[in-house]
Amino acid sequence: SQQGEEDPQALSIQEGENATMNCSYKTSINNLQWYRQNSGRGLVHLILIRSNEREKHSGRLRVTLDTSKKSSSLLITASRAADTASYFCATDDTGFQKLVFGTGTRLLVSP
Amino acid sequence: DTAVSQTPKYLVTQMGNDKSIKCEQNLGHDTMYWYKQDSKKFLKIMFSYNNKELIINETVPNRFSPKSPDKAHLNLHINSLELGDSAVYFCASSPGAGTNYGYTFGSGTRLTVV
């Protein structure tokens, strides 16, 4: 299946440090998306990166995409306690009709 | 507020009961989805409607039946609830079908079957 796999499964850092999460997938994609889920809440869309893009920025977020390696990374710079959440990558299924979510990375940012 | 809203937020019910979850979006989106998130946080799509038309119907037991009376509403009815149905159910919407858009999610309905 196309389900992405995030690495690491869990990450614990101090406020002010950078956090990097990786996502690997199996088949060719149209685009890749990253979402954040705070505990007990719904998912929030962060960034969409298309297959012909290599890097995208949004505030303190930087996403890279390497289609040759079928991988993406999400970098959160100068992390804050409020960044504590689970982060999911999502990719197209083979027919580009639906989003398939990865297994998620749980990020804990300590003050 | 513009949003995707789901009701109820929590649902505790006994095995064998029938229950419904309602979802409404006021974003003007054409496409709506139901996702199920299990205890390990794995999210799996169940159904998708585009302008009231069913376009995605994953391998889901027939006990689950979606209904979209208009493009702003997508409800989920579950018959004969089983213990394994316990999960968080998320409604989401997007401007159009496919994956070229970010999805907007509701806050979820935590279903507990006892």
Cα gap B56→B33, rounded to integer Å: 9
Q: CB–CB of A97 and B108 under 8 A?
A: no
Mean pLDDT of A66-72: 96
**What pLDDT sits at residue B1?**
66
Do B95 and B30 contact (CB within 8 A), yes or no?
yes
Residue pLDDT tens, chain B, 114 long: 669 999 999 999 999 999 999 999 999 999 999 999 999 999 999 999 999 899 988 888 999 999 999 999 999 999 999 999 999 999 999 999 888 999 999 999 999 999
Helices (H), chain B: none
Tell me the pLDDT of chain A averaged across its residues: 93
Distance from CA of B104 to the nearest CA of A (A): 7
SS3 letters across chain A: CCCCEEECCEEEEECCCCEEEEEECCCCCCEEEEEEECCCCCEEEEEEEECCCCEEEECCEEEEEECCCCEEEEEECCCCHHHCEEEEEEEECCCCCCEEECCCEEEEEEC
Show which residues on chain B lie within 8 Å of chain A, measured between beta carbons: 4, 33, 35, 41-45, 48, 55-56, 90, 92, 97-108
Cα gap B77→B62, rounded to integer Å: 10
**What pLDDT sits at residue A63?**
98
**What pLDDT sits at residue B23?**
98
Q: Which residues of A touch B104 (CB under 8 A)?
A: 45
Give the pLDDT band of residue A5 (cuts 50, 70, 90).
confident
Q: CB–CB of B105 and A44 under 8 A?
A: yes
**What pLDDT sits at residue A3?**
72
**What pLDDT sits at residue A8?**
94
Percent of chain A with pLDDT over 90: 80
**What pLDDT sits at residue A98?**
87
